[in-house]
Structure 1
């Protein structure tokens, strides 16, 4: 892309000088605005800041030095470079020009080539300075983001260690009793076994998160008929609903198209979402799984998706937590973080993405949540 020439504001009370200087600059494709006074220069610059100001010294009312000082006192204009153009050739005049903030000084009568070289230098210098500032700001933003990520990972690691320590303590107590020759009850052994299972689950989830982030999730695609798959997978939840005092509804639309996917991994996606719905829905509430067909839009226009929605009337997710529910390192910042590290939704999102699908979440505190998985048909 061609870089446009600079936007230059020239200030001189002599119309002939404005015409001459403007013609020289326009011949080199510079965008030029011309004003006859310092006050008008300030007004024009505030309305649309130029890249460079070329300023005459001897003007009635506000002279060039006063105009330059006014530019430098205005936070919106202070960084605009100013080149003085004047018939005054005394070194003291030039010193004063630099003292009030001028970047350069050209003596009249000027050489067109000299003016163009000085203008080009100041415009390029200003652009490089702005580019450097943008890069510095981007670097500062990146460093801040990196610091935030490191803090999140530290918090996550702390929570993970806490979650591992509790089951390890149980196992350690049981082993200590066995080593001392004391008998242990079946309940103690059951707790030790459950603790081992909890540790294995946490480690497996961490490994799965790592594999998903490095693109190493193995997916074995096969053809899946949604109707029998969902009916079989979700049938046990009727019994769970009865014991939990929760109404469970399964609404499978007729004529659903087959999809390609790894059924074992899609089982995990749906089971995790339904388990969460039961976990956070109180007695007397309801959990509903429904299906449908959605058509893509935009870049996905013409595509069809199987929609699997898990809707509950549970406590809902706070609006501040909702954007981070699929981020494993944000788990410790959520309002329910006291329940420990929960990597289920992070894994669900990655499994859905591995199927070239997407997952959406809607929720309102006190009313419930709706998680919808879209899988390509």
Structure 2
């Protein structure tokens, strides 16, 4: 076989010609459809476009030239290559065939080898053209994606600069007043300390994002008894709940499995989720942390996971924001971007991934959110 199977549509009002040409092509394992008129060829091509049409010129009703023009007039069919195959051998007939859109012209009586070579050439050319179009479209899509990423990074950088400018301004004012010998009130010093903490936090988060993206996030794994770890970690939130007027529940059963993990990193991931839940839950609302065991399915069948869910009755996340909450460069485009860059969820996702785990998010605006972490046992 010269080429992989191709789908060829033959159009000729002479049954003997159809049989002969079909036999030649089928011998080389081409898929062949044969029809006796241009109108039937158009109908067959509309139902299932072929890779190539072989078209006789002299046919009653719609001749080959008219059939070719009809193919070229339809957007879905106009790019199908057409080879004319005719007893007409006048140069003007060939010129007309190319003028109406034909790709090649074979004169009857034809040589089987000549036909096969011409067919192979047009089928291969068509396939190469389609592959080139796909590659060009992929390049266009990649270029658009690159532009989008660059725009997101620009927005993110602008937001980061904005977040740094405010605390740096506070520090500058306090330092300038001290330099000029003025009295700095205790309240201003506290503001300066908060500004330093905010700057350090932002820089630490940026560094952690960079390390996680480049695979350089340092991890110190050890055995962690999930029940005792979660009980100790969540205990202080009862005081916070009392102070903020938010109900807090921790459902941590006995006998949870032992996991392998970096305890400080897991602390940070879970604390971030619980802190967010409190931050966005109004007074009289509720925050609940549930722990349990979940068994994998599909490709994860047979695996066992420690499941930790943080559920709140807060404001929820807009549906348009939900797909991007773990993308650090999308933070500047979120509807609550005025609150700052907020890299916490992006870092949580990367900390969980470093434990070969998963994080899921469900939310409904006005009803609350549910973040679930799964860590392999």
| Cα distance between partner residues in 2 of 1:235 and 1:19 | 85
Partner of 1:324: 324
Aligned pair 1:76/2:76, yes or no?
Answer: yes
1:17: which partner in 2?
17
Q: Which residue of 2 aligns with 1:4?
A: 4
- 1:47 & 1:104 partners in 2: Cα distance? 24
1:173 match: 173
- Structure 1 runs of 4+ aligned residues shifted over 3 Å read none
- In structure 2, the partner of 1:40 is 40
CA contact (8 A) 2:282 2:314 kept: yes
Summarize deviations over 1:99-138 as a string: whole Å, max 9, x none.
0000000000111111111000000000000000000001
What does the per-residue CA deviation read over 1:31-62, in whole Å, with 9 as the maximum and x for residues that have no partner? 10000000000000000000000000000000
User: The residue matched to 1:175 in structure 2 has which SS?
Assistant: helix
Q: Which residue of 2 aligns with 1:185?
A: 185
Map Cα deviations across residues 82-101 of structure 1 (whole Å, 9 max, x no partner): 00001001000000000000
Structure 2 residue 294 is matched with structure 1 residue 294: yes
User: Is 1:225 equivalent to 2:228 in the alignment?
Assistant: no
Report the TM-score, using the length of structure 1 for normalisation: 0.99
Aligned equivalent of 1:345: 345
| Structure 1 residues 237-259: Cα deviation after superposition (integer angstroms, max 9, x where no partner) | 11110110000001112211111
Shift of 1:299: 1.3
1:109 is matched with 109
2:318 touches 2:365 (CA, 8 Å); kept in 1?
Answer: yes
String of CA shifts for 1:301-325, please: whole Å, max 9, x gaps. 1110010110000000011111100
- Cα distance in 2, alignment partners of residues 376 and 232 from structure 1: 21
Q: Residue 126 of structure 1 corresponds to which residue in structure 2? A: 126
- Residue 307 of structure 1 aligns to a residue whose secondary structure is strand
Aligned to 2:374: 374
Structure 1: 5+ residue stretches without partners: none
Q: Tell me how far 1:3 sits from its aligned partner.
A: 6.6
Match of 1:202 in 2: 202
In structure 1, the partner of 2:249 is 249
CA distance in 2, matches of 1:266, 1:145: 33
- What corresponds to 1:65 in structure 2? 65
Structure 2's unaligned 5+ residue stretches are: none
For the residues of structure 2 that align with 1:73 and 1:231, how far apart are their CA atoms? 73
Alpha-carbon distance between aligned partners in 1 of 2:77 and 2:253, rounded to the nearest angstrom:
64
Contact 2:363 2:370 (8 Å CA) reproduced: yes
Report the more deviating stretch, 92-101 or 3-12. 3-12
The answer to whether 1:279 aligns with 2:279 is yes
Number of corresponding residues: 376
Q: Name the CA distance, whole Å, in 2 between partners of 1:24 and 1:270.
A: 70
Aligned-residue offset at 1:179: 1.1
Q: Distance in 2 between matches of 1:79 and 1:348?
A: 51
**Does 2:155 match 1:155?**
yes
RMSD across aligned C-alpha pairs, in angstroms? 0.9
- Deviation track 1:167-224 (CA, whole Å, cap 9, x = no partner) reads 0000000111011110101111111111011101000100000000011111111111
Q: TM-score, normalised by structure 2?
A: 0.99
Give the distance between the partners of 2:232 and 2:76, measured in 1 at CA.
68
Give 1:4 deviation, angstroms. 2.9
CA contact (8 A) 2:307 2:374 kept: yes
User: Which secondary structure does the structure 1 equivalent of 2:329 belong to?
Assistant: helix
Provide the rounded CA distance (Å) in 2 between the counterparts of 1:4 and 1:367: 57
